[in-house]
Amino acid sequence: MKVIDKEAFLDTFQYFDKPIVIEIIDIFINEQPERIERIENAINNKDFDTLKFDAHSLKGVIANFVAEKPHQLARTMEMKGTEKDDSELESLLENLKTATLELVDDLRELRQEFEE
């Protein structure tokens, strides 16, 4: 596990049926590229309202997985949108891309455990 607090994740999802957890994981994995693309487009278009909305949405989803690093990056991105602050957005985006891909890797590992 690179970014997920596995113990906290398992605690969060302990009462969920395994197929539900797998479905939640699959939805995030499938939506992640599009979510990042929308954030990137918002940055490129200096559309701070969309940036704020999409970063907030991503932050909320990531919170379910107890992954502090990508959660914090999404939170920072949301604040940039709120404040209409375009400083360091490109590097923040690259860090968010990396962190969410690490999250996807972690989720794939956890998914295998839930399939067993």
**What average pLDDT does the segment 61-77 reach?**
96
Domains of the chain: 6-111 (1.20.120.160)
With a CB cutoff of 8 Å and minimum separation 6, the contacts of 56 are 74, 78
Rg over CA atoms, the chain:
14
Quote the pLDDT of residue 30.
98
| Residue 116 pLDDT > 90 | no
What CA dihedral angle connects 71, 3, 97 and 83, to 10 degrees? 20
The mean pLDDT value of the chain amounts to 96
Q: How many whole angstroms separate alpha carbon 106 and alpha carbon 82?
A: 30
Quick check: helix, strand or coil at residue 87?
A: coil
Quote the pLDDT of residue 61.
95
